[in-house]
Amino acid sequence: MTGTPNLSVVLPVLNAEPYIGQTLRSVVANLRPDIELIVIDDGSDDATPEIVAEAAPRLPGTRVITHEHAHGLADARNVGLAAAEGRFVTYLDGDDWLAPGYLPQLVDAIDRLGCDFVRVDHVQVEGRARATHWAPQGMRNTVLDPRESILPANRRSMVDYPYAWAGVYRRSLGDLLTFPSGLRTAEDRPWIWRLHRELRSYAVVSLAGLFYRRLVTTSLTQVGDERQLDFFRAYDQVLREVTADPQAARFLPKATRQFVAILGHHLTLLPRYERALAARFRARARSALAALPPEQLAGIVVRGERAAALRTVVPASSPLRAGLRR
């Protein structure tokens, strides 16, 4: 590759042997001379490094960074971002893949709109099933204020769509694009809140060219170990930063409702955890809920399985209790 690339694709991989071949073939179908690929092998001990090395001749402009031991997704992405040289950057996970021509379309969208970042839709894959998931902003191909897309508090908004790979970002934004170091799960939650609170412009385009593979057995969404406790660290950061925002009164209801809803989801998964870890998770949940201002909990409504799970950690005296519905 000669000159400055237009786009850097940051691809962290860890033991992705069953999928990384398809991922890399999809990148081959997207590469142009102005697109670079940065692979961060985050301590793989399967055949992933060999598959990447075998594909390298078909991926000109590719760099591979190898970690002897796993650093975690957040830090691996940060390493890739620091190595990136493109005007723009996007992310890709080792078990997902791209439609042909998708990456050039990303570059064309952000070039045309001239904003800080562009968000896109994606296709969710479960076995042979395919379903398009739309970014929760109906206004398309229009430059918007990211802060105004944090709300409404009681409906799905753009901060409920945290996927880093569902978009493209100006690399000149620098540290604002980095992920919280050391977080082993939920690293995208503080990240998406920071983008929407601190950046000046963004847009959503109707482009669904990334295929997101769900229910992968090695994914943290499917693993019940102590890394799941980092969920609390992630939301400690979200709530701390939103509280310090000049418009905290506007945004705290959204952050609190989001935390409660996702906490309820995590609590429904505790049966898959070891008993000691489940007990630690419940204790952290009680402590986190107790630290929230009661006025932020009043009026929150949670239904069904999540409500039943939350009842196990919400005190009878909490105003949240009234909103837990069957």
pLDDT in tens, 123-139: 999 999 999 999 999 99
pLDDT reading at 168 higher than 70: yes
Query: Does pLDDT of 254 surpass 50?
Result: yes
Phi, psi of 97 (to 5 degrees): -150, 170
Cα 208 versus chain centre, distance: 16
**Predicted confidence band of residue 222 (pLDDT cuts 50, 70, 90):** very low
**Which residue reads 């839709």 in tokens?**
121
Say whether pLDDT at 224 is over 80.
no
* Sequence ranges of the chain with CATH classification 3.90.550.10: 7-213
CA–CA dist 278, 218 (Å, integer): 20
Average pLDDT, the chain: 95
Q: Is domain 7-213 classified as CATH 3.40.50.620? A: no
In this prediction, residues 278-299 reach a mean pLDDT of 96
Q: Check whether 216 has a pLDDT greater than 70.
A: no
Distance CA 325, CA 204 (A): 34
pTM of the model: 0.94
Q: How far apart are CA 290 and CA 232, in angstroms?
A: 13
Q: How far apart are CA 127 and CA 147, in angstroms?
A: 36
* CB-CB neighbours of 28 under 10 Å: 14
pLDDT (0 to 100) of residue 223: 56
Q: What angle do CA 61, 171, 12 make, to 5 degrees?
A: 55
Where does 3-49 show beta strands of DSSP type E? 7-13, 35-42
